[in-house]
Chain A
Amino acid sequence: MSVKIKDFSDVEYVLPGSAACAGCPSTIALRIVGKALGENAIMLMTPSCAVASIGLLPKSCYSLPTLNICFASAGASAGGLSLALDALYEKGRLKGEKPTVFNWVGDGGTYDIGLQGISAAAERNDDFIHFCYNNEAYSNTGVQRSGATPLHAITTTTPLGKEVHRKNVPLLMLEHRIPYVATASLAYPMDLYRKVAKAKSIKGFKYIEIHAPCYPGWKFASSDTVKMSRLAVKSGAWLLWEGEYGRLTLNNPTSLLAKGKMELLPVEEYIKSQGRYAHLMKSPDKKSYLAELEEEVKRGLKFMAGRAELI
């Protein structure tokens, strides 16, 4: 199934004049997600930039019903809401199609604080979609390190660069053997739209992670948000794939990169314009640092390609 941009709905679910930064990746992603889900949806948000972007009472920039919930409760709240809707349908108090319940949560609410709730919801197979927009730090509170921050990246709590590797939560979700897991990128809107539409049509727990380069956090120009997403995919620092019940498929262009039909961009291309890696670019050991990051990217690609062949 291929989708074209001109077939996307022109109804906006993020209205102009939100309180987000200029060039915010979360609002770009949420606009596309909203278009794919349609108006029959309920959104839950844990504390994140997305909540700060709502704006001031009595106005809201999201034209979907929005619930603000506490940080650790994304999995439990969405699961409970979905079950409550099921109960109302069973009693006949609601008619028609069940609304799509979805979480719009950052990487802090998914990787660190919300992990156990989401893991439990995945294990129970509650019927909702969990979206994680991954900007690789706690950007809302001033760019502290999170479990998604990659190796050597500078944040305010890792001023000399992070010394440990990031987690692979999408893979963890795949191993819960839930109905649908996918990773997406801003630079590939048709791929994202297709994945959201597919998740909407499946019953059970669905997990979609969207790579969202945050320009104030990563310190690059606001106009390069989408370009940075594209470079991340082409250099192999972010992989596009989807999985159903533990079966993994790589998507283009990641599958072309894994098969060697497309050349990997050097990691340097991706990190050179990001201020959070400036200390590596200025360091006398630049070569060894770059070799280490290059090694990390190749390991990730080889691992996921191998996992795709397994089942």
Chain B
Amino acid sequence: MSKPVVYPLSQPANGAGGPTGTWRTERPVLSPEKCTGCLLCWIYCPEGVISKKDRSINYDFCKGCGICAVECPKKAITMVKEGGQ
């Protein structure tokens, strides 16, 4: 009887590229009073870190590319410099 062969299989999980939030130099900040809920930031986010429900941003994985701030028609998202460390 031959030994069973174990194939390494990757499983889908958050953070496959590491804690990508540490790549960020600027963080997007949402002003909820300006947001009209058009969802453009949600669909254009390359990482999918913006929630469809309330547009809250997952800063653990946001890489800070700034596409959401450029594409927001109401300018409800602004890029703020990361401070400290």
Per DSSP, are chain B's interface residues mostly helix, strand or loop, or mixed?
loop
Give the residue name and chain of the B residue nearest to A5 (CB).
B39
Complex Cα spacing A20 to B49, Å = 14
- Is A23 in contact with B13, judged by CB distance below 8 angstroms? no
- Is B17 in contact with A22, judged by CB distance below 8 angstroms? no
Complex Cα spacing A58 to B11, Å = 6
* Residues of the B chain whose Cβ atoms lie less than 8 Å from the Cβ of A225: 46, 65, 67
* Residues of the B chain whose Cβ atoms lie less than 8 Å from the Cβ of A227: 70-71
Given contacts A16-B49, A17-B19, A22-B23, is CB(A28)–CB(B44) below 8 Å?
Answer: yes
Q: Which chain B residues numbered 2 to 21 have a C-beta less than 8 Å away from chain A?
A: 8-20
- Is A8 in contact with B43, judged by CB distance below 8 angstroms? yes
Give chain B nearest CB distance to A280 CB in angstroms: 24
Size band of the B side of the interface? 35 or more
- Is A16 in contact with B65, judged by CB distance below 8 angstroms? no
Complex Cα spacing A20 to B61, Å = 12
* Residues of the B chain whose Cβ atoms lie less than 8 Å from the Cβ of A226: 44, 67, 70-71
Given contacts A23-B66, A223-B69, is CB(A17)–CB(B14) below 8 Å?
Answer: yes
Q: Is B48 an interface residue (CB 8 A)?
A: yes
- Is A17 in contact with B17, judged by CB distance below 8 angstroms? yes
- Is B15 in contact with A59, judged by CB distance below 8 angstroms? yes
Complex Cα spacing A55 to B71, Å = 27
* Residues of the B chain whose Cβ atoms lie less than 8 Å from the Cβ of A53: 17
Give chain B nearest CB distance to A68 CB in angstroms: 10
* Residues of the A chain whose Cβ atoms lie less than 8 Å from the Cβ of B52: 10
Q: Is A261 an interface residue (CB 8 A)?
A: no
Q: How many residues of A contact B (CB 8 A)?
A: 41
- Is A14 in contact with B48, judged by CB distance below 8 angstroms? yes
Complex Cα spacing A74 to B39, Å = 34
Give chain B nearest CB distance to A63 CB in angstroms: 4
Give chain A nearest CB distance to B43 CB in angstroms: 5
Give chain A nearest CB distance to B60 CB in angstroms: 8
Complex Cα spacing A20 to B12, Å = 15
Complex Cα spacing A57 to B8, Å = 8
* Per-residue interface assignment for chain B, residues 57 to 75, with 1 indicating a CB less than 8 Å from any chain A CB and 0 otherwise: 0101101111101110000
Q: A residues touching B (Cβ–Cβ < 8 Å)?
A: 5-6, 8, 10, 12, 14-25, 27-28, 31-32, 53-63, 186, 189, 221-227
Q: B residues touching A (Cβ–Cβ < 8 Å)?
A: 8-20, 23-24, 38-40, 42-49, 52-53, 58, 60-61, 63-67, 69-71, 79
**5 contacts across the A-B interface (CB closer than 8 A):** A5-B39, A17-B14, A22-B24, A22-B64, A226-B70
